[in-house]
Amino acid sequence: MDTCITIWQWPEEERWYDEGIKKSLQLIAEAGFTHINWNPDSGNSYMLSDAEISFTSDMVRASGLKAKSVHGSNGRNPISEVRWRKNGRIGRETRRDILSPHEWQRQSGVELVKNRVDLASAFCSPDIVLHVDITDDVFLSPEREEAFFRPLRMSLEELQPYCLEKRVKIAVETLFCASAESFLLLYDRLFAWFPPGFLGLCLDTGHWEMIEPGGCSVLEKFGDRLITTHINDNFGATDDHMLPFDGRIDWESMTRAIAATKYEPPLNFETHIDRYSMPEAAFYRRAHKIAVRLEEMLQAHRNRSRSDDGPDLIRNAG
């Protein structure tokens, strides 16, 4: 059975990018996982060199694991490689931003996203995940909506041919920086403008629980665009990224909702090791048991749905 978990970066470990990640990949594979979601460098503006992309893809390939997804750059990153200190504070600059009204800055954001598309292509990953940092204020007036969506649409239009050439889709993640209603409006705009062969949905279960407790209207409305997942749990107050069944999410309902879509397994666990006081190997072993449980629940819902549809198909054929 295919299963997937996120691999993180742990910069406090010496040579974390090669020896550190190689060790994590080995432990993930030994625990029984078949796929990974690549997360290192997702939240910053670091540009991977060709040598790094080649090394990284070779390292993952050698582990025997496949890449289910790559967490791309946000396209807008408050954490960059440029820092300054003043009066004891660390300042950060945002020089790459796909939402910027300044053309040089917007184009820099597009280049950053393309860099992660290159990484995904080297991995043979079918998609990258993109953050679009929307707020409820965007929809307060037509002028604000136009100011937000104009640079975003331009950036995605420039990315579309590049992604199609590389055969890498973009999955826009569900965040918690706005209401569920605003995210539904965001997806309504984006999916009307761009085809499913280029743009889709990344469901982060923990984020959605924070903005629509107990619900999953995003799948009810846009389940046909679901292309990747960030599976994690919480108690609705903070973004804990715990393992499923350790929080309050109803996983019976959640797997039923995902099963009703055309989502291609495996589900991707985006769960933090540092939420648990256990060795890394033990965490992956526990996570794998839960991943198998969820995959079995997902498949059971789909089998039940096919069984329920069977008699209707026979009657309709007659």
pLDDT attached to residue 88: 62
pLDDT attached to residue 316: 38
φ/ψ of 260, rounded to 5, equals -75, -10
pLDDT attached to residue 134: 94
Rounded to the nearest 10°, the torsion over CA 19, 24, 26, 30 is 160
% of the chain residues with pLDDT over 90: 81
pLDDT band at 138 (very low <50, low <70, confident <90, very high): very high
Q: In the sheet that 127-130 helps form, which strands lie side by side, from edge to edge?
A: 226-230, 199-204, 169-173, 127-130, 66-71, 35-38, 4-7, 268-269
pLDDT attached to residue 314: 34
Mean pLDDT of the region 201-224 = 98
The closest of 107, 126, 105 to 117, measured between CA atoms, is 126
- Asked if residue 22 lies in contact with residue 53, where contact means CB atoms within 8 angstroms, the answer is no
pLDDT attached to residue 291: 98
Q: Which residues pair with 242 in a beta bridge?
A: 233
**Across all residues in the chain, what is the average pLDDT?**
92
Tokens matching residue 103: 């053309």
The closest of 178, 54, 155 to 102, measured between CA atoms, is 155
pLDDT band at 231 (very low <50, low <70, confident <90, very high): very high
Residue with tokens 């409820």, as numbered in its chain = 136
Helix axis angle for 103-123 and 50-63, nearest 10°, is 30
Question: How does DSSP assign 234-246, residue by residue?
Answer: --SSS---BPTTS
pLDDT band at 46 (very low <50, low <70, confident <90, very high): confident
pLDDT attached to residue 312: 46
Residue with tokens 């995003």, as numbered in its chain = 218
pLDDT band at 87 (very low <50, low <70, confident <90, very high): low
What is the rounded distance in angstroms from the CA atom of residue 104 to the CA atom of residue 99?
A: 11
The closest of 175, 158, 65 to 117, measured between CA atoms, is 158
